Every structure is written in structure tokens, then in C-alpha cells.
């Protein structure tokens, strides 16, 4: 097995790099010398993140990709590995948290949420795993949620998708761990410091000064920790929540 040297390129690919958690994870890996590659449906929305990472001295590139389409996923991995090097770390960070009563949920929206939060996770993780197994190394990290552990009222679609994503991660970890691929699932349990939380849940956002909501940079630190773990002590599931969060 070829070891990674400081001279070899190392790519961290974040699928669903928004303005908070995904962006923070990309910045964290870039600070460690990884080439940060990020995806969203629209590449233009990634430019501020790309610029900020480059301003800090890191390497970053944004890609438009529909994570639900197999042909887009295959083309994305081929392009990134041809242009920048092997994907050493994959972070799947698509959410799709859309509430709706089961009495009103439509089949179309239910399916779309499953596509975004679970099926796209399968497509991207499989593409990464096929390459990582051939190289004998790699890390695959899934962003989960409380909905992956228990379904709440009005979140049947999201809970179903996140339960399925967690099951996917469990199966992959058991299959790929012995092949030197670290697969982990991160349960993010609580509100995150985002513009959406500030605008939609001002009372919850007011807890920020008391460390009552999750800081994206602190979430990202845990992703880096998972990747850095020695393989004799790998973590599969890590849950993150503010100290005052009820669970």
C-alpha cells in the first residue's frame, strides 16, 4: 500500500457545502493541507466560500453537481481526481429537513426528501468507496441528525431518510472497516448557528451567548478528529449537542 506523503495531493470532498457546517468542514480540512472540493446545486453559491478558503492560504474549488443523479456523481469524481488528486475524505452533508404532517405529505415530496437525504448519500459514498478500496485507504463521514435515531411528529419523510442513511453508514462501516476505510456517522442534535436559525427561531438563537446552539467550527473540529483517529480506536458514531440540549 502506498503511503501518503506531504508532497502528494489530498482531496477532501464535501457534498452539500453550505454556509455553515459544510463550509466549516471544508475550511478545517483545507487548513491541514487538503484540497477542499465542495459541491452544491449551483457553483456560484460556493464562490464566497472558495474565496475565503483561498484568502486563508488554502486550496479550494467549487463544483455544481446534482448529488441525486448517478451520471453527475460519476463525472464529479472523475473530474476531481483527474484535476486535483485522490479523494481521501468524503463528507456527505445534505440535509433536506422539511416538516410536514403525514396527513398532508405528498408522494412527490416524500420521495424527493429521500432522494436528497439518503439516495444521494449512497451514490456519493459508493463512488468514493470504489476508489478508496482500490487504494487501500480513505475516510467517509456522514452527517446525520436526531431524526436518524427517532422520528418526530411532522417529520416522517426526513426521519425515514435519515434512518436509512444511518443504516447505510452502519453497513458500509462493517464492510469497509476491515479494508482500511473509516466510515463514521455524526448525529448533530441541536440548532446550529445559521442565518436560518437566527431568522426563524430567534428565541433559540438567543441561546448562542450561553453556548446553547452548535458552532459550525466546533462541529468541523470533530470531523477532523474522526479522520485523524488511529485505526486501532476508530469511532463509528459520534453525537454532538449543546450542553443544555434535551435528549
> Tens digits of per-residue pLDDT, 168-196?
999 999 999 999 999 999 999 999 998 88
Q: Is residue 172 part of a domain?
A: yes
DSSP three-state, residue 79: helix
Phi, psi of 114 (to 5 degrees): -65, -40
How many structural domains compose the chain? Answer: 1
Which residue segment(s) compose the domain that 59 sits in? 11-240
> Tens digits of per-residue pLDDT, 33-64?
999 999 998 888 999 999 999 999 999 999 99
Q: Is residue 2 part of a domain?
A: no
Q: Is residue 205 part of a domain?
A: yes
Q: Is residue 246 part of a domain?
A: no
Q: Is residue 3 part of a domain?
A: no
CA 216 to CA 7: how far, in whole Å?
30
Q: Is residue 150 part of a domain?
A: yes
Q: Is residue 32 part of a domain?
A: yes
Q: Phi-psi category of 85—alpha, beta or left, where left has phi over 0 and alpha has psi -120 to 50?
A: left
CATH code where residue 60 lies: 3.40.50.720
- Residue 43 has a pLDDT of 86
Q: Is residue 158 part of a domain?
A: yes
Q: Which of 9, 65, 53, 15 lies closest to 34 in space, CA to CA?
A: 9
This prediction has a pTM of: 0.94
pLDDT category of residue 201 using cuts at 50, 70 and 90? confident
- Residue 7 has a pLDDT of 65
CA 123 to CA 223: how far, in whole Å?
21
Amino acid at each position: 500500500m502506498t503511503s501518503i506523503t506531504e508532497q502528494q495531493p489530498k482531496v477532501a470532498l464535501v457534498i452539500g457545502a453550505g454556509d455553515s457546517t459544510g463550509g466549516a468542514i471544508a475550511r478545517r480540512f483545507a487548513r491541514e493541507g487538503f484540497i477542499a472540493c465542495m459541491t452544491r446545486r449551483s457553483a456560484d453559491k460556493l464562490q464566497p466560500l472558495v474565496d475565503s478558503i483561498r484568502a486563508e492560504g488554502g486550496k479550494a474549488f467549487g463544483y455544481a453537481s446534482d448529488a441525486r443523479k448517478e451520471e453527475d456523481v460519476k463525472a464529479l469524481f472523475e473530474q476531481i481526481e483527474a484535476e486535483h488528486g485522490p479523494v481521501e475524505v468524503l463528507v456527505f452533508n445534505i440535509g433536506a429537513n422539511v416538516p410536514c404532517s403525514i396527513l398532508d405529505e405528498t408522494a412527490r415530496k416524500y420521495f424527493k426528501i429521500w432522494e436528497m437525504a439518503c439516495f444521494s448519500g449512497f451514490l456519493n459514498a459508493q463512488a468514493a468507496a470504489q476508489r478508496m478500496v482500490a487504494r487501500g485507504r480513505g475516510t467517509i463521514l456522514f452527517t446525520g441528525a436526531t431524526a436518524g435515531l427517532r422520528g418526530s411528529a411532522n417529520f416522517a419523510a426526513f426521519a425515514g431518510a435519515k434512518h436509512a442513511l444511518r443504516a447505510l453508514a452502519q453497513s458500509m462501516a462493517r464492510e469497509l472497516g476491515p479494508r482500511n476505510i473509516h466510515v463514521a456517522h455524526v448525529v448533530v442534535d441541536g440548532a446550529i448557528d445559521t442565518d436560518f436559525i437566527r431568522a426563524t427561531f430567534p428565541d433559540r438563537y438567543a441561546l448562542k451567548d450561553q453556548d446553547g446552539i452548535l458552532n459550525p467550527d466546533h462541529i468541523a473540529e470533530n470531523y477532523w478528529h474522526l479522520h485523524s483517529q488511529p485505526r486501532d480506536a476508530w469511532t463509528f458514531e459520534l453525537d454532538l449537542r449543546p450542553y443544555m440540549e434535551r435528549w
